[in-house]
Amino acid sequence: MAKNKINKNWLHDHINDPYVKAAQKDGYRARAAYKLKEIDEDEKLIKPGQVIVDLGCTPGSWGQYTRRKLAAGGGINGTMIGLDILPMEPIADMHFIQGDFREMEVLDQLAEVLQGRKADLVLSDMAPNLSGIATADAARMEDLIDIAIDFAQHHMKPGGALLVKCFKDMGFSQIVEKFRAEFKTVTQKKPKASRDKSSEIFLLGRGLKHPAP
């Protein structure tokens, strides 16, 4: 009974959520687009001509927003690459690679698109599948952050930026320390589109201290 009540409350909040309505009106696949939009407008992350990699890009609302920012005269001025183990409906001008980006086959496909270039910006909206066990969920979240940092060290320009999703109740202080150890500047962002009830928060790291050779 309690579960049904929670589901009904969530559905009511979802249907009446102004960002859900805006996403439907603006043609975004998810309300998450507005989280990136707000952070981008604050931090001036996305600029024409950039190489941008979106980790865990499905369903694609961050890719849709990025494309709109890079759009110029019918095409895009820049390179967009999306990586996910899940399938995704195509986004115009986005190179989508399905698979685990820690595997050589996927990295080979990535190298083919990059052609020796490195990313200006790496985005990660990845989140773990939650078990409800706090320590296990915190460890999974930390693992995803480690993966994103490692990816940035190998595939991002030394002066680039990495934006990741975290949760305040999932090993957040350790994650912040990791970011401070690896990036010259670290900023915490809680966009308005991130629900008040959620412990979701975004970390932005700029300038790698230890880029891979």
Active site members? 165
- Is residue 196 marked as binding? no
Cα separation, 38 vs 126, in Å, equals 18
Helices (H), the chain: 2-15, 18-26, 33-43, 61-70, 104-114, 134-155, 172-182
Residue 100 marked in a binding site: yes
Question: Does 207 carry a binding-site annotation?
Answer: no
φ and ψ at 127, to 5 degrees?
A: -140, 150
173 contacts: CB under 8 Å, gap ≥ 6: none
Q: How many CB atoms lie within 10 A of CB 142?
A: 18
Confirm whether residue 42 is marked as ligand binding: no
Residue 82 CB-density burial (10 A; 0-12 exposed, 13-18 middle, 19+ buried): buried
Checking DSSP bridges between strand 200-208 and strand 156-167, what pairing results, if any?
antiparallel
Residue set of the binding site for S-adenosyl-L-methionine = 60, 62, 84, 100, 125
Residue set of the binding site = 60, 62, 84, 100, 125
